Structure 1
Amino acid sequence: MNRKLTACLLILAAVLTNVAFTVLGSVFDYPDVLKRPVDEILTAFRADQAVIVGWFSVLAFSAALFAPVAIGVGRLSRSAAMRAAVPVGIAAAVVQVIGLARWPLLVPGFAADGATDDFATAHHVLGTLIGETLGYALTAAWTVLVLVAVGATIAGRWFTLLGGLSAVLIAAGVVSPLQVPGVDFANFIGYVLWSGWLVAFAVVLLRVRVPEPVH
């Protein structure tokens, strides 16, 4: 994992995530559809099942890319913060893939059988608790740890401020199940800013000489 490959994966992950999210929002009203009753979600899923499954697969793949990204970024520093960031980043990728993979792997069967109770359980455990809540927390933690480790050495204050703000807004999604007003919107804005931060991070890696990691 060299800097160029890490930068390419950062850009690819950001682009695929936003394209998949946009398409799913158009054909499936995602993520707002998740707030609807279970039978309505399954009905909407059946209406464009092939397209929805395909784009959730893309979204899961983009989430999986953060495992190698975490490893590549981990090569930028040998600090304690970065040593912690690598497993946190990998864990963030794993839990999000688990949450998103339910759509191509489990939901088609639930939709075919009309298994609303099974869907509701998977939706709550795999989606809300693992994919979303843990995903938000781990993604925000990885971002903060990376900023602590290398933020001041590879870019200006803007890089730290952008990454830090996006992390705070993403972390706000942890309380989304409590239906706190404004949290879902804050989380959405956080991911938009974070996508920009990822692309900026990639540009920094490609154009700025990053100091060799020191013990």
Structure 2
Amino acid sequence: MNRKLTAALLIAAAVLTNVAFTALGSVFNYPDVLKEPVDAVLASFRAHQGAVTGWFTVLALSAALFAPIAVGVGRLSTSRLMRVAVPVGIAAAVVQVIGLARWPLLVPGYAADATSADPAVAAGARDSFATAHLVLGNIIGETLGYLLTAAWTLLVLAALGRTLAGRWFSVLGAVSAVLVLAGVLSPLDLPLVDLANFAGYVLWSLWLLAFAVLLLRRPRAEDVTAAARLATVRRPT
């Protein structure tokens, strides 16, 4: 994992996440569709199953990229905070993949069984979908995902300080992390929480892109040190 590869993964994760989320909003009315009754959600899923499963797979892939991203970013600092950030970032990737993978792996079966002529089978499918949505979606994918994503971001900022960029980079990352973290309050149906979480992810995507640009443009610290030493040696006396 070098700086260029880490930067490429940061860009890919930000772009894929936003493209997939926008596409799901268009074809599936996601995430607002999740507030509808289970039968309505499953009916909408069946109507657009190919596109929905495909875009959720892309979304899961973008989440999975944060495992190698956490490793690559971890190479930017040897501080204790960064050593903590690496497993936190990997955990954030894992829980989000678990939450998102239910759509291409489990929901097609639930959607098919929900149309069964056997009332018991149909009811069981609806109950299973609701349980998977609560456990894999709300608790693991979303709540733990928001918590670990925000924690990773703040740990990285604390570990890097201003070695990579000025104050703006830290402020952008910290504000986005706090707004993303607000998503853990979403089950309480508090006003503006969902909007704050959405705004947080938009800002966080911008922070990821800025992070990538900084990695591509900023010389490695050891290269700067070596250049300075060489200039000192060559300086006429």
Q: Give the counterpart of 1:172 among 169, 178, 182.
A: 182
C-alpha distance after superposition, 1:92-135 (max 9, x if no partner): 00000000000000000000001100000000000000000000
C-alpha distance after superposition, 1:134-163 (max 9, x if no partner): 000000000000000014110010000000
Q: Distance in 2 between matches of 1:158 and 1:29?
A: 34
The number of equivalent residue pairs is 212
1:3 partner letter: R
Q: Give the counterpart of 1:182 among 172, 186, 192.
A: 192
- Any runs of at least 4 consecutive aligned residues in structure 1 with deviations exceeding 6 A, and if so which? none
Q: Distance in 2 between matches of 1:177 and 1:33?
A: 15
1:32: which partner in 2?
A: 32
Q: Distance in 2 between matches of 1:172 and 1:107?
A: 27
Q: Distance in 1 between matches of 2:16 and 2:163?
A: 28
Report if aligned partners of 1:154, 1:210 keep a CA contact under 8 Å in 2. no
Q: TM-score, normalised by structure 1?
A: 0.97
Q: Distance in 1 between matches of 2:197 and 2:97?
A: 19
1:130 partner letter: I
**Structure 1 pair 29/151, CA: closer, same or farther in 2 (3 Å)?**
farther
Shift of 1:200: 0.2
Q: Which has the higher contact order (CA 8 A, sep 6+)?
A: 1
Partner of 1:125, secondary structure, is: helix
- Correspondence 1:82-97 to 2 at 5 A: 82-97=82-97
2:15: which partner in 1?
A: 15
Could you list the runs of 5+ residues in structure 1 that have no partner in the other structure?
none
Q: TM-score, normalised by structure 2?
A: 0.88
Shift of 1:34: 1.0
1:111 partner letter: A
Report if aligned partners of 1:76, 1:210 keep a CA contact under 8 Å in 2. no
C-alpha distance after superposition, 1:59-96 (max 9, x if no partner): 00000000000000000001011000000000000000
2:132: which partner in 1?
A: 122
Could you list the runs of 5+ residues in structure 2 that have no partner in the other structure?
115-124, 223-237
1:160: which partner in 2?
A: 170
Partner of 2:25, secondary structure, is: helix
Report if aligned partners of 1:7, 1:206 keep a CA contact under 8 Å in 2. yes
